[in-house]
Structure 1
Amino acid sequence: MPRVLLVEDDPSVREGIEIGLCQRGHEVHAAVTGEAGLEALDAFRPDILLLDLMLPAMSGVQVCFRVRETSQLPIIMLTARGDDVDIVVGLEAGADDYIVKPARTKVIEARIRAVLRRAETPIDARPTVEHHGELDIDRAGHAVLRSGDPVALAPSELKLLLHLSAVPEQVFSRQRLLKEVWDHSFHSDIRLVDACVRRLRAKIEDPSRDPRYIQTLRGHGYRFGPL
Structure 2
Amino acid sequence: MSGRRVLVVEDERTIAESVAARLRAEGFSVDIAGDGPGAVEAARVHQPDVVVLDVMLPGFDGLEVCRRIQADRPVPVLMLTARDDETDLLVGLAVGADDYLTKPFSLRELAARVHALLRRVDRAVSATQHTLRVGDLEINQAERRVRRSGVEAHLTPTEFDLLVHFAGRPRTVLPRERLVADVWGWADSAGARTVDSHVKALRRKLGADLIRTVHGVGYALEVGA
Q: Structure 1 length normalisation: TM-score? A: 0.88
Matched, 1:221 2:208: no
Structure 2 alignment gaps of length 5 or more: none
Describe the superposition over 1:173-224 as per-residue Cα deviations: whole angstroms up to 9, x where unpaired. 222211111112333131111111121222222xxxx41x222122221101
Q: How many angstroms does 1:149 deviate by?
A: 4.5
Within 5 Å, which residues of 2 pair with 1:69-218? 69-122=71-124, 125-126=127-128, 128-139=130-141, 141-205=143-207, 210-211=208-209, 213-218=210-215
Q: How many angstroms does 1:151 deviate by?
A: 3.2
> Paired residue for 1:3, among 2, 5, 11?
5
Q: Supply the AA of the counterpart residue of 2:216.
A: G
Structure 2: distance between partners of 1:124 and 1:46: 19
Q: Secondary structure at the match of 1:223?
A: strand
Structure 2: distance between partners of 1:201 and 1:119: 22
CA distance 1:202–1:226, change in 2 (3 Å): closer
Q: Considering only aligned residues, what root-mean-square deviation do their CA atoms show, in Å?
A: 2.1
> Paired residue for 2:18, among 1, 8, 16?
16
The count of corresponding residues between Structure 1 and Structure 2 is 222
Structure 1: distance between partners of 2:221 and 2:45: 39
Which residue is equivalent to 2:65? 63
Structure 2: distance between partners of 1:199 and 1:97: 14
Q: Secondary structure at the match of 1:107?
A: helix
Q: How many angstroms does 1:140 deviate by?
A: 5.1
Aligned partners of 1:122 and 1:140 also within 8 Å: no
Q: Supply the AA of the counterpart residue of 1:191.
A: R
Structure 2: distance between partners of 1:123 and 1:47: 13
Q: How many angstroms does 1:10 deviate by?
A: 0.8
Aligned partners of 2:67 and 2:95 also within 8 Å: yes
Q: Supply the AA of the counterpart residue of 1:220.
A: V
Aligned partners of 2:35 and 2:57 also within 8 Å: yes
Q: How many angstroms does 1:115 deviate by?
A: 1.2
Identity value in percent: 37
Q: Which region of structure 1 is more displaced relative to structure 2, 186-195 or 158-167?
A: 186-195
Describe the superposition over 1:141-163 as per-residue Cα deviations: whole angstroms up to 9, x where unpaired. 54323333543321211111111
Structure 1: distance between partners of 2:148 and 2:7: 32
Matched, 1:33 2:50: no
Aligned partners of 1:163 and 1:181 also within 8 Å: yes
Structure 1 alignment gaps of length 5 or more: none
Q: Structure 2 length normalisation: TM-score? A: 0.89
Q: Secondary structure at the match of 2:16?
A: helix
Aligned partners of 2:137 and 2:223 also within 8 Å: no
Aligned partners of 2:54 and 2:81 also within 8 Å: yes
Structure 2: distance between partners of 1:96 and 1:141: 19
CA distance 1:86–1:129, change in 2 (3 Å): closer
